[in-house]
A and B are shown apart, each in its own frame.
Chain A
Amino acid sequence: MSLCTTRKHLLDLAEPALGASGFAVFAALACCTFFSLPAFSYPEFQEFVEKHSHKTVNCAMCHTNENGPVGEGKGQIGSLSPDEMKRLNSARGALEAGQNVDSPILNKFGNEIIKAVGKKKFVQLKSDPSKLFDALPGKSDLDGDGIPDAQEYMDGTDTLNKFHGDPGKLFFVNLSRYKLHIVLAIIAVLSLNFGLLHLVKGISILQSKKGD
């Protein structure tokens, strides 16, 4: 389906040339055959994460669209503009690690994966998706929640939402991050308790005096 969609897209692009000559038609079809690869999604990674984390995840972990790259929806191949198609093809060419990738069908984390490991190695990792954990940069934390992206990948949590992560890990990260706030809250509560104690004591003394 995605292949057809891409072909249609390329034919649309070549439309002005079609009337010009038969060669243009041939060129467009050749483009279609050689340059528009089918939209691969890699469910092996999703399956691994779900099995490992015991949490439901979907394509939105790495893709722009929660239903993956195939289709006509936002962030899916069928809806891409010519400029986005160009970016997609450029991303597909990022076979080695270290190249900046800006694929419109991938979200920030998806692009980060391709940048970190390269398309070639990423495809190889399909056979053992657990190794993606080691392949990703240990310090990368796109949402800034304090849990590295590689760890969030293993935990099946959202790498792009700072309010989503493993609850236990978030607790300790935030405890350390907000220690000043917590100390101030403890001081406030202790002061409140101290004040209340004396206020209520005062009221009871007044009451006993009234009784006398």
Chain B
Amino acid sequence: MIDLDKAAHKVSGFLSERIPVEKLNFHSMVEKKEVPIHKMSWGYYTGGLTMFFFMIQVVTGLFLLFYYQPTVSDAHVSVEYISHHVAGGALIRNMHAWSSSCMIFCAMVHLLTAFAMKSFEKPREITWIAGVLLLFITFTFGFTGYLLPWNQIAVNATKVGLQSVEYVGQYLPGQLADVPRILRETFQGEASVGQSTLGRFYALHVVILPLLLASLLGLHLLMVQLHGMSQGVDKPAKKAEKFISIFVFKDLSLWATVFLALFVVALCIPFDSFLPFPLLAPFNALGSTPQGIKPEWYFFFVYYPLELLPFWVILLASMIAVTVMIFAPWIFKGTSRRTLGFITLSASVYLVVMTVFGEQIYEFFKH
């Protein structure tokens, strides 16, 4: 029989080590905080950048909310209206689209650098797990937001995505096999992707996910401030800079510069111009599925392998990857930073190759 007192003692011991109450004050968390300076110091800025892009998402998303209509009859028209008739609407929509991609890119880079720097080491396990969950939420943001313009690629890609969720059930034992189907039905809301799906994805995208993300981000930031920046390298850095004012200024300065770059890109390159125009036409339920349906670029690393390999291989690989990511603080407890760096490099090469050359690799093996 489990000794409840012992278990409670263990949990409270774990939490008190990870959440030192005596440090919960402005002096310890802000004034006293220092940031080490070493060859990997740039990695400390990636988290801030991700948060900055999230802030842009919130602000531009609020503007889009003024005009967007989450109904199958009006969604596409309202997006067209925003782009063509609302003053600054095209810019805001483009900034929203570009910054969503930038947010996902920065979140992935942040996770990879944090892994290479072994930033998950005790007592930062909660920070790490919150970060991994934040990355998953960010991907879900991308998936739910993709449907909202209600064009050909949006609806057809969502259909494929939801269908993939249901396939997972085939490989699960017993009653668990029904869970993916129930999940798909819950999010889809009707027999095919339609009004209920759009309504649910809209609610997820603008209310549920932002609330979840804000809560987890709060926890993540609290933990970062409580424990300070991780050492990052094997030898403790000889130099450090004050969090207030040097690091904060550098961070804000970087944000301003990145904002300028985002503004110029959003002003000059419409995000939709990367897609063939037939895919941007309003979804036609009676029409045939157009060619070239694929997810956003940040899902290519799983999409192209999924097209080439059996479903169970990708499912197994994904489950292993997710488990390893979540339990990294315990799995890689004694691993050197050199080994972690090698793993990170391999993962990065895979991600870049599948994202940039995934289509060519697919064509090569299929023909």
Q: Which residues of A contact B (CB under 8 A)?
A: 55-58, 60-61, 66-67, 156-158, 161, 163-167, 170-172, 174-175, 178, 181-182, 185-186, 189, 192-193, 196-197, 200-201, 203-204, 207
Contact = CB atoms under 8 A, between A and B. Distances in A.
Contact of B245 (A60, A156, A174, A203): A203
Interface of B: 31, 83, 90, 242, 244-245, 248-249, 252-253, 256-257, 259-260, 263-264, 267-270, 272-274, 276-281, 284, 287, 290-292
A199 B90 CA distance: 34
B269 A156 contact: no
B292 A56 contact: yes
Contacts of B278: 56-58, 60, 66
B259 A200 contact: no
Top 9 nearest A-B pairs by Cβ distance? A174-B268, A200-B245, A163-B270, A158-B277, A56-B276, A204-B245, A58-B278, A200-B249, A189-B260
A110 to B, nearest CB: 15
Contacts of A166: 273
Contacts of A158: 277, 280
A171 B267 CA distance: 8
17 contacts: A56-B292, A66-B278, A66-B281, A161-B277, A161-B280, A163-B273, A164-B270, A167-B273, A174-B267, A174-B268, A181-B267, A185-B264, A189-B256, A193-B256, A200-B244, A200-B252, A207-B31
Contacts of A175: 264, 268
Contacts of B31: 207
B22 to A, nearest CB: 21
Contacts of A56: 276, 278-279, 290-292
A185 B257 CA distance: 10
Nearest to A177: B268
A185 B260 contact: yes
A4 to B, nearest CB: 22
A196 B287 contact: no
Contact of A189 (B90, B259, B277, B280): B259
A204 B242 contact: yes
Nearest to A163: B270
A173 to B, nearest CB: 8
A71 to B, nearest CB: 11
Contacts of A170: 268-270, 273
A175 B265 CA distance: 9
A192 B254 CA distance: 11
A177 to B, nearest CB: 8
Q: B242, B260, B281, B291 — which one has the most chain A CB atoms within 10 A of its CB?
A: B260
B89 to A, nearest CB: 11
B33 to A, nearest CB: 13
Contacts of A203: 244-245
Nearest to A53: B276
A77 B284 CA distance: 19
B88 to A, nearest CB: 11
Contacts of A58: 278, 290
Contact of A157 (B252, B260, B277, B287): B277
Given A164-B272, A204-B244, A182 B267 contact: yes
B264 A165 contact: no
A189 B257 contact: yes
A185 B262 CA distance: 11
A163 B276 contact: no
Contact of A192 (B242, B256, B264, B269): B256
Given A66-B287, A185-B263, A196-B252, A171 B269 contact: yes
